[in-house]
Structure 1
Amino acid sequence: MEFFRFDSDVSREISQFSSHNAGISPIIRNKTATVGCIHLKDNSVLGMHPAACPQLFLIVDGEGWVKTAGGEQIAVQKGTAVYWSEGEEHESGSYLGMTAIVIEGPDLDPHQYLKPL
């Protein structure tokens, strides 16, 4: 058995796309998928950017918001999964702090197991 850390203390800052108070702890990257833990602190923004491939954003703690280009902020909380298609411009943030697992990959299809809201 081995143990690893992916908490905010071992995350690296995300500054691209005018982001602030945001970090990521990379977890896995292979030929078909990338998984990381996004840490959004108080008053954070992970700036508007296109999804490089299909992306699933699983909120595991806290609450915040997400939006697409030209759209309004939509509140999200622990237990919510947000899916963005390849190329879809999106942004996320939090006023009080939020942690999310992000899964990216060309064959990602959340409809296989998750029920849409």
Structure 2
Amino acid sequence: MKIFNFSKEHGKQITKFNSDFVMSRIIQTEKPAHIGSMYLEENGIIGFHQAVVPQLLLIVNGEGFVRGNEEEYIKVQSGDAIFWEKGEWHETKTDTGLIAIVIESETLKPSTFMPLK
């Protein structure tokens, strides 16, 4: 398990086309990708299981705890991106609720765009 950061502080100011915003790049895929939203309510959990393909979980709202093969949980919050390799055991849970985007694809390399936390 690796934890990256995609918060505003790691983004780039975009001014092209008379724009004014910050973009934090996350991922580029070479093969098809599945992208979905996950909504965990208070005391919600994504149970302990193996990743079928490399998986990137982007916390966009709220906070929770993640773990890989180890039994120790690590606190995560909005702006954190958790990466699990194919076959890696993992779990996500929250006491207060969280919203996340999940990206699954055979060729995910989040270190290309995001710094480790």
Q: Is the 8 A contact 1:48 1:69 kept in 2?
A: no
Question: Who is 1:73 aligned against?
Answer: 73
Q: CA deviation at 1:72?
A: 0.7
Code of the aligned partner of 2:48: M
Alpha-carbon distance between aligned partners in 2 of 1:67 and 1:45, rounded to the nearest angstrom: 12
Identity among equivalent pairs (%): 43
Q: CA deviation at 1:92?
A: 0.2
Question: Who is 2:86 aligned against?
Answer: 86
Q: Which has the larger radius of gyration?
A: 2
Q: CA deviation at 1:70?
A: 3.1
Question: Who is 1:59 aligned against?
Answer: 59
Question: Who is 2:115 aligned against?
Answer: 115
Point out which structure has higher relative CO (alpha carbons under 8 A, 6+ apart): 2
Q: CA deviation at 1:105?
A: 0.1
More strand by share: 1
Alpha-carbon distance between aligned partners in 1 of 2:104 and 2:37, rounded to the nearest angstrom: 12
Alpha-carbon distance between aligned partners in 2 of 1:44 and 1:107, rounded to the nearest angstrom: 29
Code of the aligned partner of 2:107: D
User: Any unmatched runs of 5+ in structure 2?
Assistant: 1-30
Q: How many residues align?
A: 87
Give structure 1 regions of 4+ aligned residues with deviation exceeding 6 angstroms.
none
User: Any unmatched runs of 5+ in structure 1?
Assistant: 1-30
